[in-house]
Chains A and B, each alone.
Chain A
Amino acid sequence: MHAMNKQELLQMINVQLTAIKPKLGQLSANTDLVSDLGLDSVQVLEMCTDLEDELDISIPVNRLGEVRTAGQLADLLQQLLNDN
């Protein structure tokens, strides 16, 4: 599970987001989770819980403050995987 590149992580985020927003289509690294997709804080946390299971990591809630876009979330996931 440790050797995932950013594109693979973005694809994984895309799949999770499609469960919340079925009409989402393909997102880009610049897609803003709140202002573009209209997710609220609880929806972001729920999506993260599913990603945590898939990647076998825990995402600290305090680190999510720095995440606005799908790309930034992928970067954070990659960092956590590397630290693991």
Chain B
Amino acid sequence: MQSSASTINDHPPGSLYDKLRPIAEARMMLKEIGIDPFGTAMENILSPTEAIIHGRHTILVGTNNYLGLTFDADAIAAAHAALDALGTGTTGSRMANGSFTLHRQLEIDLAEFYGVRDCILFSTGYLANLGVLSALGGAQDVIILDADCHASIYDGCKLGGAEVIRFRHNDPQDLDKRLRRLKARAHNAVIVVEGLYSMLGDIAPLAEIVAVKQRYGSCLVVDEAHSLGLYGATGRGVAQAQDCEAGVDFTVGTFSKSLGATGGFCVSQHAELDLIRYASRPYIFTASPVPSVVASTRVTLQKLAVGTHLRENLFARAAQLHAGLQTIGYQPSAAVSPVIAITIKGRLNALNFWNKLLQAGAYCNLVLPPATPSGDPLLRISLSAAHTAEQIDAVLDMFARLHSDYVNANSQG
């Protein structure tokens, strides 16, 4: 038996751990250069947009805290009250011993917010996709998903065993072509897209996708994880903004972004949603959301619904940063949205750039291929309604000082 201090190199080739060797090598490389972007610890959180990282005051531009509600006083008070009244955890799944009236209240809140029949809560957004897609797409079914869909969507398809076909990102014509090829099977096909895509910040042409779906009589699932609270008159997402909600069969979302907590949900007009509850292993076999999280989410949902001023500030800061980056000489992703991405060619260049930006005082996300749609490393920035114009100016100053690094990296190819 190996000692607990052994490394992967202590195991002979062909061992159980061989599959982890590429990860071990990548981790070793990061250790050697002394930069680790995949677990940066925030030592203290000062506000929705500021933290202490490596002992330094840092502006956060990579948290997905789109509406900046994580420190909302009313939400914190509600969480405290639930903690005092109902305890720290539910110690069970909804199906067994972990179903509280509070869970059902939030389900009713969400169904009313969306103006649909019903809602199911899940413990995370990841589990919401797993739960819904595995229950909808059985082994005999076809799921057609946008090529840029999140890993949770792919994993949900895998759990249910459906045949999975990709269509070109944001391309309704390609979707149409693939449904046509399915012939009679298209009628039961499940189409899955996202509202706002989390890597490049572009939104789906949902109204066109709904039109294609209706031609074939298929089922449409829209994951509004990143778009909830950002788009639409009351923040319901891209389907509301594009006035095509009636064509969406199931909407999936998360509490971990605009709602400032953790958890997930699915809402639908279809009565069958309640049956999914009983067919969904990620609902049945995991502990339910803790009371304090459910209580704070009920409050932030109310604030999100009337948060027009939050959305206005969020998009104003996004426009400020996007335009400022272009003025300096960067080429940010095309969409002016609360997610802005910058390509830095070469893994080492991207690592160094990300680290220099952190040292300068701004935290964003580094995404490396194959997790990026373009095949090149990305710096991913996400904005918050809580950002001030002064903070964005400060971040732009940091980017200006690093512009030569960007030029050098991208000219090397």
Contacts and interface: CB of A to CB of B under 8 A. Distances in A.
Interface of A: 40-43, 45, 49, 56-62, 84
B166 A42 contact: no
13 contacts: A40-B370, A41-B370, A42-B370, A42-B373, A45-B166, A49-B147, A49-B168, A58-B178, A60-B164, A61-B154, A61-B164, A61-B165, A61-B166
Nearest to A63: B163
Given A49-B147, A56-B181, A42 B164 contact: no
Q: Is the interface of B mostly helix, strand, loop or mixed?
A: mixed
Nearest to B142: A60
A58 B165 CA distance: 7
Nearest to A61: B164
B372 to A, nearest CB: 8
Tier of interface size on chain B:
10 to 19
Nearest to B168: A49
Shortest Cβ-Cβ A-B pairs, 7 listed: A61-B164, A42-B370, A40-B370, A58-B165, A60-B163, A58-B178, A58-B181
Contacts of B182: 58
Interface in B165-185: 165-166, 168, 178, 181-182
A42 B165 contact: no
A32 to B, nearest CB: 16
A45 B147 contact: yes
Contacts of A61: 154, 164-166
Contact of B181 (A43, A49, A57, A62): A57
Nearest to A62: B164
B299 to A, nearest CB: 40
